[in-house]
């Protein structure tokens, strides 16, 4: 088992190294000159050359890459080319906003998808099951940003119950923080829930065909009790995998939702930095996002080795 774990850890580290190289290479290969962007109109060639030397953008590729990776290992993402602030200090508060959004969205998605998915499976030949399945299909077709705009229009502009957009840190005003996050979290969570419902439904359908479920029913358990006791736990196996994979989809969704709701998260930082051509920030943010996705997937992989005896046997074979 140890060998399997080490193997997967090795794969994770190799993936991170490859990701860092690709990210650095792509941002390096982009057209455009940051010295020009920073100095603005009318900079002389001498000023430009001095700026390039100051930023180190005139050094060879692998020297720049090596310096960047060395910094990453100390959680030092370098200095923003545009504002000359440390990238870490720009990313940290914004990562917090995105984390609240993704965490909240995931919670909403699971809380909505599990019961509705169960209903869709149990009542699959009835109207309610059909309505849930059809609703999930429609939900999947709605882009998160559109859901966000609709929610904002209804609850903020028409009814004026909640703020249309913006963000207040929880340390400043806890109620205001919650009010500002309700709509974005729902917009993100509901669309993800629509995707999850289908997985929950098919997982439960598998369970319904299993011997242990039939046995539980035959000794007099109600459908609900049998499903709760045996179905949920077994269905959760595949669901956990799917949810792990969904984290990356949630992060992508969060980038869009942050734009719609003007949240100062990591996604809006990424978009702003791209348009400003601040590659120091772009690299840092993309590396963090890649790391989160790779680590979550890596953890799910490793968990299998620990949990599933069949995988352990495969390793030995």
Partner 1 sequence: MSTSTTHARGVLRRGAVALVAALALVTAACSSGVSPSSTAPASPARTLVIGATAEPTSLDPTADAAAAGSQALLYNVYETLVKVDAQGQLRPLLAQAWDVSSDGLTYTFQLNPLAKFSDGSQVTADAVARNIARIKQEPVAAKLKTAMAVVDSTKVIDTDTLSVTLSRPSVNWLYEMASTAGIVMNPAGFATATTATAGSGPLTVTGWTPGDSIVLSKSPGYWGTPVRFDEVTFRYFKDPNAMNASMLSDQLDIISNLQAPESLAQFSDPSRFSVVEGTTNGEVVMGINNGGAPTDPSVPAGTGNPALADVRVRKAITMAIDKQALVNTTWGGHGKVIGSMSVPTDPYFEDLSGLYPYNPTEAKRLLAESGHSRLTLRLKPAALPYATKAAQFIAAQLQDVGITVQVEELQFPARWRETVYDRADYDLTIVAHVEARDLNTFANPNYYWRYHNPDFDALVTKADAGTVSDYASGMKQAARLLADDAAAVWLYVLPNIVVTKPGITGVPRDAQSLSFDVTTIARA
| Contact positions with partner 1 (CB under 8 A) in 20-79 | 31-33, 36-45, 47, 51, 54
Which of residues 23, 55, 106, 121 is near partner 1 by CB under 8 A?
Answer: 106
Which of residues 29, 75, 125, 171 is near partner 1 by CB under 8 A?
Answer: 171
Pick the closest to residue 287 from 38, 18, 98 (CA basis): 18
If one asks whether residue 156 binds partner 1 (CB under 8 A), the answer comes out as: yes
- The nearer residue to partner 1, 89 or 222, going by C-beta atoms, is 89
- The nearer residue to partner 1, 103 or 224, going by C-beta atoms, is 103
Which of residues 153, 174, 224, 315 is near partner 1 by CB under 8 A?
Answer: 153
List beta partners, residue 86: 79
Which of residues 5, 16, 205, 295 is near partner 1 by CB under 8 A?
Answer: 295
If one asks whether residue 144 binds partner 1 (CB under 8 A), the answer comes out as: no
If one asks whether residue 96 binds partner 1 (CB under 8 A), the answer comes out as: yes
The answer to whether 87 touches 74, Cβ cutoff 8 Å, is no
Q: By rule CB under 8 A, what count of residues binds partner 1?
A: 88
Which of residues 87, 95, 136, 187 is near partner 1 by CB under 8 A?
Answer: 95
The answer to whether 95 touches 270, Cβ cutoff 8 Å, is no
- The nearer residue to partner 1, 63 or 153, going by C-beta atoms, is 153
Which of residues 100, 199, 204, 213 is near partner 1 by CB under 8 A?
Answer: 100
By rule CB under 8 A, what string of x and - marks binding of each residue 227-256 to partner 1?
------xx-xx--xx-xx--x---------
Q: Which stretch binds partner 1 (CB under 8 A): 59-67, 102-110, 111-119, 121-129?
A: 102-110
Pick the closest to residue 197 from 148, 126, 124 (CA basis): 124
Smallest distance, partner 1 to C-beta of residue 169, A? 4
In angstroms, the Cα distances linking 154 to 67, 135, 139, 149, 306 are 50, 20, 18, 9, 48
Smallest distance, partner 1 to C-beta of residue 316, A? 18
CA angle (160, 164, 166) in 5-degree steps? 140
Tokens 């882009």, residue located: 143
């Amino acid at each position: 088992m140890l060998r399997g774990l080490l193997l997967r850890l090795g794969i994770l580290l190799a993936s991170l190294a490859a990701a860092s190289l690709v990210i650095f290479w792509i941002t390096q290969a982009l057209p455009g000159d940051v010295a020009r962007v920073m100095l603005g109109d009318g900079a002389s060639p001498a000023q430009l050359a001095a700026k390039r030397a100051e930023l180190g953008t005139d050094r060879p590729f692998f020297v720049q890459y090596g310096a960047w990776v060395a910094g990453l290992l100390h959680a030092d993402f370098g200095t923003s080319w545009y504002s000359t602030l440390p990238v870490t200090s720009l990313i940290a508060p914004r990562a917090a906003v995105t984390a609240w959004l993704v965490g909240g969205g995931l919670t909403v998605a699971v809380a909505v998808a599990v019961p509705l998915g169960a209903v869709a499976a149990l009542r699959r030949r009835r109207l309610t099951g059909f309505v849930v399945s059809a609703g999930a299909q429609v939900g999947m077709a709605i882009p998160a940003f559109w859901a966000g705009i609709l929610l904002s229009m209804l609850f903020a502009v028409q009814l004026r119950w909640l703020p249309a957009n913006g963000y207040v840190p929880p340390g400043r005003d806890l109620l205001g923080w919650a009010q500002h996050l309700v709509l974005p979290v729902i917009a993100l969570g509901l669309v993800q829930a629509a995707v999850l419902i289908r997985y929950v439904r098919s997982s439960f359908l598998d369970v319904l065909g299993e011997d242990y479920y039939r046995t539980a029913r035959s000794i007099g358990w109600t459908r609900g009790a049998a499903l709760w006791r045996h179905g949920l736990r077994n269905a959760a196996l595949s669901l956990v995998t799917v949810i792990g994979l969904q984290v990356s989809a949630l992060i992508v969704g969060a980038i869009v939702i942050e734009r719609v709701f003007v949240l100062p998260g990591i996604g809006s930082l990424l978009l702003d930095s791209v348009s400003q051509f601040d590659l120091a920030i772009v690299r840092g943010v993309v590396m963090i996002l890649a790391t989160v996705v790779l680590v979550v997937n890596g953890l799910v992989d490793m968990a299998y080795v620990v949990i599933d005896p069949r995988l352990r046997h495969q390793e030995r074979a």
